[in-house]
Amino acid sequence: MTYKYFVQDGNKYQLKSQLVFIGLLSGLFILGGLKFTFFHDEGKEGAMWVGVFMILLGAAAALRLTAKNTIDMDAKQLLVKKNIFAGEVAYNLNDFDGFLVASTVAFFGVTMNATGNMTFNVNGKEKNIMLNQSMFTVKPLNEMINEATSIMQLEK
């Protein structure tokens, strides 16, 4: 089976990175930060510090490009690596509780931001693992969750 949101390697399914979304978001923050940092009016050093903060936010967002989420059906685990500097964390699929799509709706019912998460119950504590984000719609998140459901063989 061919998946839109996952790349299959044997019985391992790696979630594809959101290059365009994350790249655009981090690029906008970095460019805006550079503008505030180097092209502010004389005597307005506050704008420079806002720019530095925006550059740091953009760099943190760009780190998300190095994240890896892999469903390993041989080991029955979700392997999560948040960025290039973080270690890989394994979550047992036996602790899986469900999926969660959370959205922020603003004026006139427009979805501004949405996230698709996997929820685990690890030793009595709830862990939410963010898989993907979207803006203005939840449809791609629902499609991604449908693929993950198929991979994890949760269909009835």
Structure tokens at 104: 């922020």
Any idea where the domains of the chain sit in the sequence? 1-16+67-156, 18-66
pLDDT at residue 1 tops 90? no
User: Tens of pLDDT along 71-83?
Assistant: 999 999 999 999 8
pTM check: above 0.85: no
Q: Which pLDDT does position 54 carry in this prediction?
A: 94
pLDDT reading at 156 higher than 60: no
Banded pLDDT at 151 (limits 50, 70, 90): very high
CATH 3.60.60 fits 1-16+67-156, yes or no: no
pLDDT at position 155:
66
Tell me the average pLDDT across 106-135: 88
Separation of alpha carbons 102 and 31, rounded Å: 29
State the alpha helices, DSSP H only, in the chain.
Answer: 19-38, 45-63, 139-151
Assess whether pLDDT exceeds 90 at residue 110: no
Whether pLDDT at 53 is above 90: yes
- What's the confidence (pLDDT) of residue 127? 92
For the cut 60, the answer to whether the pLDDT of residue 99 exceeds it is: yes
pLDDT value at residue 116: 92
For 130-150, the pLDDT digits (tens) are 998 888 888 999 999 999 999
Give the span between the Cα atoms of 70 and 132, in whole angstroms. 13
- From the list 85, 95, 98, the residue with the least C-alpha distance to 149 is 98
Q: What is the mean pLDDT of the chain?
A: 89
Cα 20 to Cα 58: distance, rounded to the nearest angstrom: 14
